[in-house]
Amino acid sequence: MSVLTERPAPARTRPVPRPEKPRTRWVPTALLLLGAVYCLAPVVWVAIAATKGPSELFSTFSFWPSFQGGFQYNVTHLLDFRDGVFLKWALNSLLYAGVGSVLSVAVSTLAGYALAKYDFVGRELIFMTILAGVLVPQITLAVPQYLLMSELDLVNSYWSVLLPSIISPYGIYLSRIYAASVVSDDMLEAGRIDGAGEYRLAWKVGLPPMIPGMVTLLLLQFVAIWNNFLLPYIMISDDGRFPMTVGLFTMLNQGASQPALYSLVVMGVFLSVLPLVALFLFLQRYWRLDLVSGGVKG
């Protein structure tokens, strides 16, 4: 990237660039707002639809909320549905995504640090395996993972979803890139000369600069596990251990024969979107997505 470091040639013909006019550019602004409307409209619709009871959902005008007590009806009936199983789904999602993402980040960070900062026999082999892991479709693994879990007698347990969620080839790949760019070899070397052991060095020198990347990875993993459907769908048969995604999916399936459930599903969708949206708005500043895009800057 020598282009980047070259200073721009001094302009001779027009020494002073015209001062920028503070005029708003309306065409790009309008296009962006159009994009925002496309992305937000379905979420707005679900908020409106959640106010409608089963009889209103199919009959009233879609873009106007109802104040006939549909919202309360949906909330109470959803929370009562099968003895409050919806709350259980929410807590399960939190458990899978919370515990899974923390463990996943720990494993990925250590692995990424080791891959970036040490030369050792088998490094490239391990790394190529990890890259292959990024490419293999999840269901290709899901069938044998299911068989493995049933061999271990873990099918239908929390472990069957948690354990496979911990290994994230993509997380390791990002951690390696990140460690290579933020952990200073000179600092590590200085630590070694001062006689620090390798683990102390990793803990005191290597890992601290990786913390911003770890936070980003934590969020990425949290969302990935929270959003995961296929793995829990295959592993879990007891609806008390479903995450929200699988729970609402099965509810919708029942809705095909009991349309009264549709308004509850809409409410469930609304309630399941809320916490993650809130989390996102709150955590925006902690996102360091240059970790994702920066890894491939030439």
Binders in 72-101 for other proteins, by CB under 8 A: none
Measured distance CA(90)–CA(271) in Å, rounded:
9
> How far are the Cα atoms of 99, 261, 281, 290 from residue 284, in angstroms, in the given order?
21, 35, 5, 13
Task: Name every residue whose Cβ is closer than 8 Å to that of residue 153 and which is 6 or more positions away in sequence.
Answer: none
User: 220-259 mask for other proteins (x: CB under 8 A)?
Assistant: ---x--xxxxx---x---------xxx-xx--xx-xx---
Using the contact rule CB under 8 A, the part of the chain among 35-43, 66-74, 76-84 near other proteins is: 35-43
Figure out which of the listed residues 87, 143, 190, 260 binds other proteins, where binding follows CB under 8 A. Answer: 143
202 touching other proteins, by CB under 8 A? yes
Count of residues interacting with other proteins (CB under 8 A): 120
42 touching other proteins, by CB under 8 A? yes
List the structure tokens of 90: 């929410």
Measured distance CA(263)–CA(265) in Å, rounded:
5
Figure out which of the listed residues 90, 110, 182, 187 binds other proteins, where binding follows CB under 8 A. Answer: 110
Q: Can you give the C-alpha Rg of the chain in angstroms?
A: 25
Output the 3-class SS for 64-124: CCCCCCHHHHHHHHHHHCCCCHHHHHHHHHHHHHHHHHHHHHHHHHHHHHHHHHCCCCCHH
| Minimum CB distance to other proteins smaller for 37 or for 260 | 37
Figure out which of the listed residues 38, 67, 194, 195 binds other proteins, where binding follows CB under 8 A. Answer: 38
Figure out which of the listed residues 78, 85, 105, 116 binds other proteins, where binding follows CB under 8 A. Answer: 116
In the numeric block, the tokens 């005191």 are attached to 204
Beta carbon of residue 20, minimum distance to other proteins (angstroms, whole number):
7
| Minimum CB distance to other proteins smaller for 98 or for 294 | 294
Beta carbon of residue 36, minimum distance to other proteins (angstroms, whole number):
3
Residue type, 78: L
Using the contact rule CB under 8 A, the part of the chain among 66-74, 79-87, 127-135 near other proteins is: 127-135
| Minimum CB distance to other proteins smaller for 37 or for 87 | 37
Figure out which of the listed residues 78, 161, 177, 261 binds other proteins, where binding follows CB under 8 A. Answer: 177
> How far are the Cα atoms of 65, 202, 205 from residue 188, in angstroms, in the given order?
61, 8, 7
Beta carbon of residue 82, minimum distance to other proteins (angstroms, whole number):
18
